[in-house]
Chains A and B, each alone.
Chain A
Amino acid sequence: GAGVSQSPSNKVTEKGKDVELRCDPISGHTALYWYRQSLGQGLEFLIYFQGNSAPDKSGLPSDRFSAERTGGSVSTLTIQRTQQEDSAVYLCASSLGYGPLPTDTQYFGPGTRLTVL
């Protein structure tokens, strides 16, 4: 079946502009995750959704970052007033459930490479 998809694949923006990154999880997966991969910080957890609610937003680096999920499916990560340090690859993952079971393995999308000039 179809895997996790993300769009756009690449995004170049100017400092101060807002951007929206989209994630389409695997059909039927209830949990969705956003991670950020940057040269300096490696892979960092950003936020996690159970259905449409986000019990853990602890990884969002600042209040310029927000995310929502609608219909228990598509999620959008929004970065307002982008800064150069926001340049990174943003990865989305989904899992069938959100517990410690093997079926809760996270499957990743191809990521969005964001470049802030």
Chain B
Amino acid sequence: AQTVTQSQPEMSVQEAETVTLSCTYDTSESDYYLFWYKQPPSRQMILVIRQEAYKQQNATENRFSVNFQKAAKSFSLKISDSQLGDAAMYFCAYRNDYKLSFGAGTTVTVRA
């Protein structure tokens, strides 16, 4: 079974600053997908960014980027120029077939 670990229960960032969320995972597979999802208080899980394991280039979506280290099984999310709307719980997730395995989540607070 795959396990996903998010070691930071909470992170706080000043508006316009940068915050990095950590995620590690355990797998014996070589081909898989990694995701970061955002869950605001509305409960809607929103896809932030996706990374294919076979791609060496780190994925980027506007202010969101990842640092994917396959050998270390590490997949961190960097939020640049943080905005008040970024406040939410962020989940790291792993998928190699159809099932998503999630980490415990990191709550991000943005200070004005």
List A residues at the B interface (Cβ < 8 Å): 31, 33, 35, 42-43, 45, 48, 56, 89, 91, 93, 95, 98-100, 102, 104-111, 113
Known A-B contacts A42-B104, A42-B105, A107-B47; A102 and B52 likewise in contact (beta carbons under 8 Å): yes
CA distance A27 to B97 in the complex (A): 22
Task: Choose from A98, A106, A110 the contact partner of B100 (Cβ within 8 Å).
Answer: A106
Task: Decide: A100 and B96 in contact? CB cutoff 8 A.
Answer: yes
Asked if B102 and A110 make an inter-chain contact with CB atoms under 8 angstroms apart, the answer reads: no
Task: Tell me, yes or no, whether B78 is within 8 Å of chain A by CB.
Answer: no
A109 to B42, CA, bound (A): 11
The docked-state distance in angstroms from the alpha carbon of A33 to that of B101 is 12
Closest Cβ of chain A to B89, distance in Å, is: 10
Count, chain B residues at interface, CB 8 A = 25
Chain A minimum-CB-distance residue to B101: A45
Would you give the shortest CB distance from A58 to chain B, in whole angstroms? 9
A-B contact count (CB 8 A): 55
Q: Which of B74-108 contact A (CB under 8 A)?
A: 91, 95-105
B43 touches A110 (CB 8 A): yes
Contact of A100 (CB < 8 Å), options: B97, B100, B104: B97
Residue from A31, A95, A100, A107 within 8 A of B31 (CB atoms): A100
Name the B residues within 8 Å of A107 (CB-CB): 47
Please name the residue on chain A nearest to B43 by beta carbon.
Answer: A111
Distance of A60 Cα from B18 Cα, bound (Å): 40
Q: Which of A104, A108, A109 contacts B98 (CB 8 A)?
A: A104
User: Is B98 a contact partner of A31 (Cβ separation < 8 A)?
Assistant: yes
Q: How far is the CB of B35 from chain A (nearest CB, A)?
A: 8
Contact: B42 with A110, CB < 8 Å?
Answer: yes
21 residue pairs bridging A and B, Cβ less than 8 Å apart: A33-B98, A33-B100, A42-B104, A43-B91, A43-B102, A56-B99, A89-B43, A91-B43, A93-B100, A98-B98, A99-B97, A99-B98, A100-B32, A100-B96, A102-B52, A105-B35, A106-B100, A108-B44, A110-B42, A110-B44, A113-B43
